[in-house]
């Protein structure tokens, strides 16, 4: 059996560095318990009014949770990379991303994702949830280890903000700070409720399992409520009481059992529970040219047979379980207007199309291509011009957003000159070497798959006109099973 990497408690504070493979935080990446802890931390973040408002207005975690998970995991890997250049590049990217998020919540209170105190709270929840994870699973951190890990998180905040002054310097003062924020600032926000109840109960299948909705729904019906109960039970008691969160009988025992069980997976051979590999496999769409997709396709075929048998035994009538109604689709390989609006245009899942939805598309594209500031700004500007064109053509009631009915009434207006410009800017950003064509490596950077056989030309390159045509065909023609599905439509 191959030994697993050292746990966060193993390296001595004198030897471990703040960043890199021996940092206290790095050991969490391959710890299965971290999955439970990160959900808990996300709820505590969302319970902060500023974070909660930003999530509701800008985040894609409801409609595209698996994509959000993959991007978050990648970002955290970069932020704790041993190479300072990697950390600095990711810091700059995160700051540009957050600088674009500001507005007002449903109570008229302003929020700003660059607010230093709010960013400090996000870092605080990650540290505190890591400590709580070890405590709940019967392996509490030693004082010296905990202090060194806290220094790592303050270093994380300093990398983002230039200093860590918004977090107390000493560990003792941190606990007083944490308790004060929980008692005085956290609220029963919409975002926290969505994560605890709507997200767990209606979590869409990852791309790998999208073809077996019945089997996925059956498993989700059991796991969703349990995961919600475990998370609620792990939250600080003052917040549970003030938010009126219910507690199931035996939830504390269930929670501790879940953390203990997840902890046993640490003893499996290295790579078996590697989160990066698991996330990548779940993100594969069966039928793609990626070599790993052949295994995914075979697995999906087996799961479809199991799903069909389960459906015969326990028929489920929910639309989400049964899949799309064939009467609402326009034919093989196409989406209905309703499905296209919900799966592609409404990235934030609020039932309307507005600027945050298009900004989310730009953010995903820029993240995949790891764009520098000039190219990223150019892409955002192209999407902003498209949004202005859409508003002028489709927003008939002048409320600043586009409803599904307004979209359905003026579908041809979607593919105007501004959308063509978006496609051209995206092509230029993907064509890293400026050759005028997209080669196989550049194609993989954007689509995370090999050249699709339908797009491979005789010289193994993907030209501008073909690229722009395929992008417009996807956005205007609502085709499915294209390279753009995992990019903008998959969960």
Average pLDDT over residues 298-313: 55
Burial class (CB within 10 angstroms; exposed 0-12, middle 13-18, buried 19+) of 242: middle
Token pair 């003052």: residue: 238
User: Average per-residue pLDDT in the chain?
Assistant: 80
Does 291 map to a domain?
A: no
Q: Are residues 225 and 372 in the same domain?
A: no
Does 405 map to a domain?
A: yes
Question: In the numeric block, which tokens belong to residue 17?
Answer: 């560095």
First to last CA, the chain: 35
Band (213; pLDDT cuts 50, 70, 90): confident
**Could you say which of 267, 301, 319 is where a domain stops?**
267
Q: Which of 61, 325, 336, 320 is nearest to 213 (CA)?
A: 320
Does 292 map to a domain?
A: no
Q: What is the pLDDT of residues 25-67, one digit of tens each?
A: 666 666 788 888 889 999 999 999 999 999 999 988 888 888 8
Token pair 């529970």: residue: 273
Band (21; pLDDT cuts 50, 70, 90): low
Please tell me the predicted confidence (pLDDT) of residue 1.
37
Long-range contacts of 72-76 (CB under 8 A, 24+ apart): 73/275, 73/276, 73/279, 74/367, 76/29
Band (321; pLDDT cuts 50, 70, 90): very low
Q: Are residues 48 and 192 in the same domain?
A: yes
Q: Are residues 357 and 472 in the same domain?
A: yes
Q: Are residues 66 and 198 in the same domain?
A: yes
Please tell me the predicted confidence (pLDDT) of residue 337.
80
Q: How far apart are CA 121 and CA 216, in angstroms?
A: 35
Q: pTM for this one? A: 0.79
Residues with Cβ within 8 Å of 99's Cβ and at least 6 positions away in sequence, in order, are: 113, 114
pLDDT at 94 over 60: yes
Please tell me the predicted confidence (pLDDT) of residue 323.
43
Does 276 map to a domain?
A: no
Q: Are residues 255 and 378 in the same domain?
A: no
Q: Are residues 258 and 340 in the same domain?
A: no
71-85, 142-156, 419-433: which has the highest mean pLDDT? Answer: 419-433
Q: Are residues 337 and 260 in the same domain?
A: no
pLDDT at 208 over 80: no
Q: Are residues 67 and 195 in the same domain?
A: yes
Q: Are residues 247 and 356 in the same domain?
A: no
Residues 387-401 as b or e (16 or more Cβ within 10 Å = b) = bebbbebbbeeeeeb
Does 4 map to a domain?
A: no
Does 320 map to a domain?
A: no
Q: What is the pLDDT of residues 179-192, one digit of tens each?
A: 999 999 999 999 99
Domain count, the chain: 2
For 381, the domain range is 327-489
Residues 282, 344, 196, 324: is their CA dihedral positive or negative? Answer: negative
Q: Which of 96, 99, 98, 75 is nearest to 87 (CA)?
A: 75
Residues with Cβ within 8 Å of 97's Cβ and at least 6 positions away in sequence, in order, are: 113, 363
Does 375 map to a domain?
A: yes
**Could you say which of 267, 289, 312 is where a domain stops?**
267
Does 308 map to a domain?
A: no
Please tell me the predicted confidence (pLDDT) of residue 362.
95
**Could you say which of 223, 245, 267 is where a domain stops?**
267
Please tell me the predicted confidence (pLDDT) of residue 465.
92
Please tell me the predicted confidence (pLDDT) of residue 250.
85
Q: How far apart are CA 93 and CA 79, in angstroms?
A: 11
Average pLDDT over residues 117-121: 96
Q: Are residues 239 and 343 in the same domain?
A: no
Between 307 and 23, the higher pLDDT residue: 23
Please tell me the predicted confidence (pLDDT) of residue 472.
87
CATH number at residue 349: 1.10.238.10
Q: Are residues 111 and 230 in the same domain?
A: yes
Residues 183/98/156/91 CA torsion (nearest 10 deg): 180
Q: How far apart are CA 348 and CA 343, in angstroms?
A: 10
Q: Are residues 257 and 362 in the same domain?
A: no
| Beta bridge mates, 479 | 334
Q: What is the pLDDT of residues 246-275, one digit of tens each?
A: 878 888 898 888 888 887 776 666 655 665
């Amino acid at each position: 059996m191959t030994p697993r990497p050292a746990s966060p408690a193993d390296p001595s504070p004198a030897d471990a560095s703040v960043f890199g493979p021996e940092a206290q935080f790095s050991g969490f990446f391959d710890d299965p318990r971290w999955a439970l802890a990160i959900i808990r931390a996300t709820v505590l973040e969302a319970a902060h009014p500023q974070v909660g408002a930003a999530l509701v207005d800008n985040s894609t975690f409801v409609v595209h949770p698996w994509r959000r998970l993959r991007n978050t995991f990648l970002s955290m890997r970069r932020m704790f990379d041993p190479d300072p250049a990697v950390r600095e590049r990711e810091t700059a990217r995160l700051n540009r991303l957050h600088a674009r998020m500001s507005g007002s919540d449903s109570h008229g209170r302003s929020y700003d994702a660059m607010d230093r105190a709010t960013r400090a709270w996000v870092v605080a929840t990650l540290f505190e949830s890591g400590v709580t994870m070890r405590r709940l699973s019967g392996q509490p951190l030693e004082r010296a280890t905990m202090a060194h890990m806290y220094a790592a998180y303050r270093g994380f905040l300093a990398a983002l903000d230039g200093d860590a002054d918004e977090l107390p310097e000493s560990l003792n003062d941190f606990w007083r700070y944490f308790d004060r924020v929980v008692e005085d600032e956290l609220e029963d926000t919409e975002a926290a409720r969505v994560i605890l109840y709507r997200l767990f109960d209606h979590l869409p299948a990852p791309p790998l399992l999208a073809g077996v909705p019945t089997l996925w729904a059956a498993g989700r019906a059991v796991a969703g409520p349990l995961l919600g109960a475990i998370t609620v039970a792990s939250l600080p008691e003052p917040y549970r009481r003030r938010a009126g969160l219910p507690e199931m009988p035996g939830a504390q025992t269930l929670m501790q059992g879940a953390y203990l069980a997840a902890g046993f997976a640490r003893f499996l051979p290295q790579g078996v529970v590697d989160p990066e590999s698991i996330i990548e496999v779940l993100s594969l769409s069966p039928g793609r040219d990626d070599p790993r997709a052949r295994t995914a396709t075979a697995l999906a075929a087996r799961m479809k047979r199991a799903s069909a048998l389960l459906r015969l035994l326990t028929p489920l009538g929910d639309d989400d379980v049964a899949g799309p109604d064939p009467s609402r689709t326009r034919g093989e390989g196409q989406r209905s207007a309703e499905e296209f609006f919900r799966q592609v245009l409404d990235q934030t899942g609020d039932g309307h199309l507005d600027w945050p939805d298009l900004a989310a598309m730009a953010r995903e594209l820029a993240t995949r291509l790891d764009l520098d500031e000039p190219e990223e700004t150019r892409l955002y500007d192209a999407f902003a011009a498209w949004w202005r064109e859409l508003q002028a053509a489709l927003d008939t009631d002048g409320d600043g957003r586009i409803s599904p009915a307004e979209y359905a009434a003026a579908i041809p207006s979607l593919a105007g000159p501004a959308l063509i410009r978006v496609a051209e800017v995206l092509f230029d950003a993907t064509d890293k070497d400026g050759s005028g064509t997209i080669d196989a490596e550049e194609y993989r950077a954007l689509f995370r798959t090999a050249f699709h056989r339908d797009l491979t030309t005789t010289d193994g390159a993907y030209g501008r006109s073909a690229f722009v045509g395929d992008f417009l065909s996807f956005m205007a023609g609502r085709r499915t099973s294209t390279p753009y599905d995992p990019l903008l439509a998959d969960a």
